[in-house]
Amino acid sequence: MHPMPFGAEVQTDRRVRFRLWAPTHEEVAVELDGKAIAMEPVDAGWHELITNSARAGTRYRFKLPDGLRVPDPASRYQPEDVHGPSEVVDPAAHRWHDADWTGRPWQEAVIYELHIGAFTPEGTFQAAIGKLDHLAALGITAIEMMPIGDFPGLRNWGYDGVLPYAPDSSYGRPEDLKAFVEAAHARGLMVLLDVVYNHFGPEGAYIHPIAPPAFTNRHKTPWGAAINFDGPDSGPVRDFAIHNALYWIKEFHFDGLRLDAVHAIIDNSPQHLLEELADRVRAATPGRHIHLILENEENEAGRLIRDRNGAPRWYTAQWNDDVHHVLHVAASGETKGYYADYKGNTDKLGRAFAEGFAFQGELMPYRGRPRGAPSAALPPTAFVAFIQNHDQIGNRAFGDRMANFVPAEAMRAIAAVYLLLPQIPMLFMGEEWGAAQPFPFFCDFGPELADAVRTGRREEFARFPEFADPAVRDRIPDPQAEQTFASAKLDWHDLMREPHSRRVDWHRRLLSVRHAEIMPRLAGVRAGGEYEVLGDGIVLVRWALAPGGTLTLAANLAPTAAPGFLKESGRILWLEGESDENGTFGPWTVRWSVEEPLLRESASTALDALAERMGIEARYQNARDETIEANAETKRSLMTAMGVHATDGTEARKALEGLDRAEWLHPLPPIQVLRADTRTLNGIAAMFRDERGTEIPDATVKNV
């Protein structure tokens, strides 16, 4: 349970405390079972009531002086949607069974973004539990859930939420969400939540009449007046956002958050809201792996800085739109909008792979102003790489996925790049099997907004030549139509059909290479790599590994063959496409390799002996019946997971000696000596020596 200074909270004596910040109202009441009970005004605009007339399950509203009845802005559950009453929830009633779960290190993250409503036919938390085994078997280690804060209607992407503490009732109750998180943890899956602190949605945002000072006209956002994070009366507003972050992490056991469009959070305070939020989250969660992720159009590298130990000072990583853009342009050839700034610029391609941001302070023509900051000093894990997400699919007119307009060989090439990059990869739901379902924008606003949303969506595309004709724009799916939402639901039957099943197997094999070869090395990649442009769409990127060695990406992301690649001197991890002995790469060819420093023979021998002693096979057959040799790094990682640390030959020999000692000291099974003379006993004794080589005396043998 996370205690909060607002909302409805069940006390230890089972009474319920109601608390609301309504600074412009002298009188506020709580309505319980149709009866209004006056709240007590307290300092600084707060109103409070502690009563034994409510309990868990009681529905309530706040009543303002003008008679307006409103839900609780900090409601934990809205059984009748955003315009209905709130429900008192006792979070202590849930019994958790994941006490041993502390999360996973960030370098182990392979993220899967999903929308609860479209992920399964049922569209609920409970139904999603049934798909967790699929994700675990695929190689996913983290789920990123699109926003679930209560929104108006039965369907929405989630970014129009107005009650950020209440899981939307169309997905299930709070207990169902907790069951989902717990089930994910049981399978080794982290769960991250997308949260929105830059605006409230256009319908049902009763925070406006409750607390007008929560907004300010001093700053403007795409949604109108900004949330007041830095002016008079901003303290409770900042707390509302920060407590929300703490609430999801502590009360629901989420492993981290992704903060939506933080460039639209305007704060001129001495300490920006983003820094205070991160400081308080990290201070409140000692001993847990908590990951905070940003979406930030400004590409501010300073928010991602690390401390001297390599740990994030504030934010763990940022969605890297630049990697998406360079890969999308390479594979599709599209040049509309911001894609024009990446087309034909292979330097941006190499830079995004090696250093994270493609724009690092240079003018971005599409924006008409500079973008980004130098990022080469950041570790690659400070960036989340992807080729599809909800925005990049859903912001297309028809919500079509890349597999519908990009050749299959190009899709495999760009996937082989981003899924093995030292950056953290993220798939969008259904990507692993090439889902045919689109992901269009959908919502379910009331009649006052429906026409405006429908018209606005179509007018958005009027500036593009292919949509100049109104008749063509009319073909754009109606975001308000139930069918638009239904079209986005994944068809899980496709998993059993070709070519989808083959694509799933390909992704599973590729992610198994990431687990075995890339993840164990990420802690040793403390900064960006170096890149070389070899031609249009052709790059060579190298990352230095600690304590030595190099990870290399050689890629021809073009539809024509490319000569000039050197023969790989290291060990090839993955080859997608074709290459010949003369250094010519075929179209859409990607090669990942690693070159490691030679270990002393004695060190290698000791490590191999220790691995064999612990049952680790030196070579094995993969799903394609290929023989794979387990390298030294893989053996070390597996032994570490088994509780044995051997980073070099000396430690390997010590571990072997420890195993020998434990084996010698293990009690012998009892035996029965029937007849023996002294000479026989002395002979037996000579066969036994302790760990120092000292002969065991006769008496020890006689006492066996």
- From the list 132, 134, 113, the residue with the least C-alpha distance to 386 is 113
Q: Please calculate the CA angle 674-680-684 and round it to the nearest 5 degrees.
A: 95
Token pair in block for residue 680: 């026989």
Contacts of 447 (CB under 8 A, 6+ apart): none
Q: What does DSSP say about strands 550-556 and 142-145: parallel, antiparallel, or unpaired?
A: unpaired
Instruction: Note whether 190 and 290 are within 8 A (CB).
Output: no
CA distance 275 to 315: 9
Instruction: Note whether 347 and 354 are within 8 A (CB).
Output: no
Instruction: Note whether 453 and 443 are within 8 A (CB).
Output: yes
Residue holding tokens 């699919």? 393
CA distance 647 to 654: 11
Give, in order, the Cα–Cα distances in Å from 566 to each of 299, 531, 590, 659.
34, 15, 13, 45
The residues facing 538 across adjacent strands are: 535, 556
Contacts of 235 (CB under 8 A, 6+ apart): none
Is 295 annotated as catalytic? yes
Give, in order, the Cα–Cα distances in Å from 390 to each of 144, 152, 348.
11, 20, 23
- From the list 82, 165, 128, the residue with the least C-alpha distance to 444 is 82
- From the list 434, 478, 426, the residue with the least C-alpha distance to 453 is 478
The residues facing 224 across adjacent strands are: 221
3-state secondary structure of 418: helix
Instruction: Note whether 165 and 76 are within 8 A (CB).
Output: yes
Out of 295, 391, 444, 576, pick the active-site residue: 295
3-state secondary structure of 394: helix
Helix H or strand E encompassing 46:
strand 46-51
CA distance 152 to 555: 46
CA distance 667 to 84: 70
- From the list 109, 108, 106, 103, the residue with the least C-alpha distance to 287 is 103
CA distance 337 to 533: 25
Out of 168, 182, 260, 341, pick the active-site residue: 260
Instruction: Note whether 166 and 76 are within 8 A (CB).
Output: yes
CA distance 612 to 465: 65
Instruction: Note whether 270 and 230 are within 8 A (CB).
Output: no
Is 260 annotated as catalytic? yes
Token pair in block for residue 389: 């997400």
Instruction: Note whether 518 and 492 are within 8 A (CB).
Output: no
Give, in order, the Cα–Cα distances in Å from 433 to each of 129, 407, 625, 634.
19, 15, 22, 28
- From the list 300, 302, 304, 301, the residue with the least C-alpha distance to 291 is 304
Residue holding tokens 């190099």? 550
Helix H or strand E encompassing 589:
strand 589-595
3-state secondary structure of 635: helix
CA distance 447 to 433: 38
Question: Is-cis flag, bond preceding 547, omega within 30?
Answer: yes
Positions annotated as catalytic residues are 260, 295
